[in-house]
């Protein structure tokens, strides 16, 4: 680690950014940034779930919400910021997982196994990376279905509205199954990650640890349960898409 701290790129020295370099290459700094990115992504989940709950209100309200978002001038910057947050969080997850595996010892196992683990009785290192990987797959399918309109079995022109497209995605058996599994793993991930973010930021005093663990589990249940409810209930209560809107698997991609 010492060599990585001393061997700085020329641009770091030129712009006097050694403090940033130290933050990025040190384990403490990486955990700090991972905590910040995690909490910011949690904030995005709250906002995203709030908007999606309008599916229960009706097609008109949900379409108005979607149109409002899509017409925001700074939407591309916001999406770029979310992408940076997600990629940074993913990269740091990989780095810290590798560091943990390299530094792991019997004492480390024993010490970590005594920590609060959230919803399941397993050490965090054994499932956080796995749950995060499953959530990543869930997010990619979500983007393919609804953001980039790349599903070959959907006729997006016939669906026409954000509400109809969302209902079609939630009604599709494959998407519905993956979405539901994704929300379960999201809950597992948040049950430890939310509280761990406060610890990474140095905001987890011992006397507040039980409260933070409880809040972490409650937040995980709220977010994962909210998204799971959409998968379970919306296809049953929403007006289904017309048959013409669902192309056969052999149909060409929608333009």
Domains and CATH numbers, the chain: 30-245 (1.20.1300)
Question: What are the backbone dihedrals phi and psi of residue 239, each rounded to the nearest 5 degrees, phi first?
Answer: -70, 120
To which residue do tokens 């403490």 refer?
28
The answer to whether the CB of 61 falls within 8 A of the CB of 70 is: no
> What integer pLDDT is reported at residue 221 of this predicted model?
96
pTM for the complete prediction?
0.77
> What integer pLDDT is reported at residue 12 of this predicted model?
61
For residues 197 and 244, give the distance between their C-alpha atoms in angstroms, rounded to a whole number: 47
> What integer pLDDT is reported at residue 210 of this predicted model?
85
Residue 36, phi-psi category: left (phi > 0), alpha (psi -120 to 50), beta (remainder): alpha
Handedness of CA 73, 79, 82, 88 (dihedral sign): negative
> What integer pLDDT is reported at residue 159 of this predicted model?
87
140: number of Cβ within 10 Å: 12
> What integer pLDDT is reported at residue 72 of this predicted model?
86
The residues of the chain scoring below 50 in pLDDT are 1-3, 106-109, 111, 113-118, 243-255
The answer to whether the CB of 165 falls within 8 A of the CB of 154 is: yes
> What integer pLDDT is reported at residue 25 of this predicted model?
75
Question: What are the backbone dihedrals phi and psi of residue 118, each rounded to the nearest 5 degrees, phi first?
Answer: 85, -130
The answer to whether the CB of 187 falls within 8 A of the CB of 224 is: yes
> What integer pLDDT is reported at residue 249 of this predicted model?
38
For residues 159 and 241, give the distance between their C-alpha atoms in angstroms, rounded to a whole number: 7
Q: Is 120 helix (H, G, I), strand (E, B) or coil?
A: coil
For residues 70 and 50, give the distance between their C-alpha atoms in angstroms, rounded to a whole number: 16
């Amino acid at each position: 680690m010492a060599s990585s701290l001393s061997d700085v790129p020329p641009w770091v020295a030129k712009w006097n950014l050694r403090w940033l370099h130290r933050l990025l290459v040190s384990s403490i700094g990486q955990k700090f940034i991972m905590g910040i990115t995690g909490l910011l992504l949690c904030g995005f989940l709250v906002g995203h779930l709030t908007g999606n709950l309008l599916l229960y209100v009706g097609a008109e309200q949900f379409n108005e919400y979607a149109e409002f978002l899509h017409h925001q001038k700074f939407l591309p910057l916001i999406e770029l910021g979310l992408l940076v947050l997600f990629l940074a969080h993913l990269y740091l997850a990989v780095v810290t997982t590798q560091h943990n595996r390299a530094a792991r010892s019997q004492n480390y196992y024993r010490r970590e196994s005594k920590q609060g683990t959230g919803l399941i009785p397993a050490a965090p290192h054994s499932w956080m990376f796995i749950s995060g990987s499953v959530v990543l797959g869930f997010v990619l399918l979500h983007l393919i279905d609804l953001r980039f309109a790349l599903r070959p079995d959907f006729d997006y022109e016939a669906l026409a509205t954000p509400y109809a497209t969302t209902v079609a995605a939630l009604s599709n058996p494959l998407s519905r199954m993956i979405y539901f599994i994704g929300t379960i793993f999201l809950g597992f991930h948040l049950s430890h990650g939310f509280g761990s973010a406060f610890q990474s930021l140095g905001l987890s005093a011992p006397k507040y640890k039980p409260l933070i663990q409880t809040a972490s589990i409650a937040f995980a249940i709220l977010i994962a349960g909210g998204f799971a409810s959409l998968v379970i209930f919306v296809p049953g209560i929403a007006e289904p898409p017309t048959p013409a809107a669902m192309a056969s698997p052999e149909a060409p991609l929608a333009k």
